[in-house]
Structure 1
Amino acid sequence: MITLLACGYRTIHHEGIIRNRPHGSGNYTFIFFNSRTELKLHEHIMVIEKNTFIFFRPDTPYFYRELESPFINDWFHCNGEELEGFLTGLQFPLDTPVEASDPMMISRCMMELQHIHRLDGPLRERIIDCDLRSFLMKLADLRQRTAPHQLHRYYAAFAELRNDLYRSPQQNISVTRLAENLNLSKSYFQHIYKQLFGCSVVTDMINGRMEHAKYLLDHSEMSVTQIADSCGYENDTHFMRQFKKFVGSSPRKYRFRSET
């Protein structure tokens, strides 16, 4: 089990900060820098830009101080006999500054981690163990999907675009227009999207519509024609053909499947 020793979400150091640990901290230490920082690591001095994280081993010596005020960071200290093997299996980069491709995801996870850490209850430690493992897996997954292709600078914009496709399945917008909104050519836009998410943008458009259609079929009395319109289809014939292709049954059979 991974044990959380201490954590902080958007900790503000109005008077600056100096952390000098010549023999390491004695535990695994994760720091997400929300401010520019001077870091000394392995006898090398470097400037760390904001939205960069680093996960230190217990015995790694390091020193850092603020380069701007106020200094803001998210952080946690943890331990666990299984942790080294778990991180090795993820190919997680230890003692290495990593530019965060999704800073908001890190902040959300850290906020929730701090919230759970302050609570009490019989499942608290198990919840924290699961949350920490999930968080580290998300970071490892993002790095593997973005860093090798140098796509980290696109991730936040593309993730927001993808979320919008699922939030607003009724919108009719072309791939060309989506690419133009990000100042990219259509072919390069499609290439990046596939590299980041493992599917085409058109597939996500259809999946978003199908998820919304299934929800309306399950939880509303809207007609198939009304649902087709609500999902962005100009006619219900196209909707029904696409629904059967992607879901495996007609909308009517899907709605009344529990009665058969």
Structure 2
Amino acid sequence: MAHIHFVECNTTHPGNFVIDVPMGYHWLLVITKTPALFWVNGDLKEYPSHSAILYRPQQKVYYRACADQFINDWIRFESNEPYITESPLPLGVPFALDDPDYCHKLLELLTIEHNFHRDYKASSIDCLLRTLFNKLLESYFHEPVTPQYYNLLKLRTAIQNDPGDYWTIAKMADDLGISPGYLQSIYKKTFKVTCMEDVINSRIRLAKEYLIHSTQSIADIASRCGYQNVEHFCRQFKQMTGYTPRKFQQQAKG
């Protein structure tokens, strides 16, 4: 189990903010929302926003703002769990997060659990910390993050959360301020799937849920999943699943 001493999210500091602890007391995880300067291997270096840095107990901690303000999430805690004490994550060296929004949500939940005394507080904190460290590991062993990566990640999350929206390559490229051809190239390179394949896969996945668990008509389901033409929906659904929507529904419910 772990014991949290303090955890905060979206903490905003002025431009003269400095943390200087020659020997830290506990484990400390800092996630930046803005660029910052960190003392790494005897030198002060600037690291971009969406960086994470983990300090072990008794390790020197020094970082400071490098602009008008510094914003970060952070958590100071104790733990003897092997997933923390034996983690292959670097200590005292920032690395890029590949899904900073996900990590931020976990820290928000850790903040809530820490500040409320609920029956399963300890086990909830342990589960959230384990998940957070899994995401940190995924980030650390992830390929280097490109300048457009975070914008692409937000786009993909939006597609999967709302596949029924009006998604076109031209609209997506315009939202990101890049050309349609460049969007298709970097999206496929980043996620190993094209942006329109992501749209179609997400729509068919949502359609399956409606077909199994709702009483809506095929036409209504097609509309909710972003299809303006029910015939087009039926053709695409069969192409992706091997069944017509009605046949899929009958087999699933049968």
TM-score by length of 1: 0.78
Match of 1:228 in 2: 222
The CA deviation string for residues 21-72 of structure 1, in whole angstroms up to 9 with x for no partner, is 223x143211123455443333212234544331112243232344456654
Aligned equivalent of 1:170, options 164, 168, 174: 164
Match of 2:46 in 1: 47
Query: Cα distance, 1:210 vs. partner?
Result: 1.2
The CA deviation string for residues 47-98 of structure 1, in whole angstroms up to 9 with x for no partner, is 345443311122432323444566543211232240346522xxx3332123
Q: What fraction of aligned residue pairs are identical, expressed as a percent?
A: 27
SS in 2 for 1:87: coil
Amino acid at match of 2:38: L
Amino acid at match of 2:137: A
Distance in 2 (alpha carbons) for counterparts of 1:168 and 1:136: 28
SS in 1 for 2:148: helix
Distance in 1 (alpha carbons) for counterparts of 2:178 and 2:126: 41
After superposition, where does 1:179-218 map in structure 2 within 5 Å? 179-218=173-212
Structure 1 unaligned residues grouped into runs of 5+: none
Query: Cα distance, 1:178 vs. partner?
Result: 2.9
Query: Cα distance, 1:204 vs. partner?
Result: 1.2
Query: Cα distance, 1:8 vs. partner?
Result: 1.9
Amino acid at match of 1:200: T
Distance in 2 (alpha carbons) for counterparts of 1:213 and 1:35: 40
Structure 1 146/179 Cα, relative in aligned 2: closer, same or farther at 3 Å?
Answer: farther
Amino acid at match of 1:8: E
Say what the alpha-carbon RMSD is for the aligned residues.
3.1
Amino acid at match of 1:230: R
Match of 2:31 in 1: 32
After superposition, where does 1:20-169 map in structure 2 within 5 Å? 20-23=20-23, 25-68=24-67, 71-78=70-77, 79-84=79-84, 87-88=87-88, 92-147=89-144, 150-151=145-146, 153-169=147-163
Query: Cα distance, 1:3 vs. partner?
Result: 4.1
Query: Cα distance, 1:103 vs. partner?
Result: 3.9
